[in-house]
A and B are shown apart, each in its own frame.
Chain A
């Protein structure tokens, strides 16, 4: 089952520009995580934000979380061609400690050199 929506579904920008992706979810969460996937590969963890946090930074990444709106955003600043990939948010809905992560639809980012 899908937890929610991500938008945009696809994003194409020039190198150096910022990229913003949004994620909405439906249930209460322990945390929300962002992952990156290069075509045909596994997923790589980017950043985790806990339900009691509102903003988090990691290098060129900035993640916000609004639990009242059940939404999160991922900002990639000063994008590079190597940032071209699909980006997914995932929520740990966490009733019990099943550890399940439910993924959003994903945003495909293309960064043009």
Chain B
């Protein structure tokens, strides 16, 4: 199957700083990627759809100025958590799908554990 690589796997940052998380599709061109957030022992909450060459589509309740998404190439999407606060501490996961066929699986990155202190 396709490989999606996410980096870093863990990051600790100080409150008020910004953190960038990278998501790369290693062996296919991903015109669309998805960013999820997961709290401990909970499910994945879709944050936004990242579209190559255009603006991301954010889900209701997600602050676009807080969670900046850039999808500048067909293999890289980035999520920047700006002015991070302890409540932003969470597990962030990206995924990519081939959208030429609606019946396809999603490929997930390994996830990033963000801790804001």
Contacts and interface: CB of A to CB of B under 8 A. Distances in A.
Interface string B83-110: 0000000010101010100111111111
Contacts of A31: 102-103
B43 A106 contact: yes
Contacts, number: 77
Interface in B1-59: 1, 4, 6, 32, 34, 36, 41-46, 49, 57, 59
Interface size class, chain B: 20 to 34
A50 B107 CA distance: 18
Contact of A99 (B6, B34, B43, B108): B34
Nearest to A98: B49
Given A100-B34, A100-B46, A103-B43, A43 B103 contact: no
Contacts of A35: 108
B35 to A, nearest CB: 11
B99 A43 contact: no
A103 B102 contact: no
Contacts of A43: 44, 93, 95, 106, 108
B91 to A, nearest CB: 7
11 contacts: A1-B45, A40-B91, A42-B109, A45-B105, A45-B106, A48-B105, A50-B103, A92-B103, A97-B99, A100-B46, A103-B43
Top 5 nearest A-B pairs by Cβ distance? A42-B108, A45-B105, A43-B108, A103-B44, A42-B110
Interface of B: 1, 4, 6, 32, 34, 36, 41-46, 49, 57, 59-60, 91, 93, 95, 97, 99, 102-111, 113
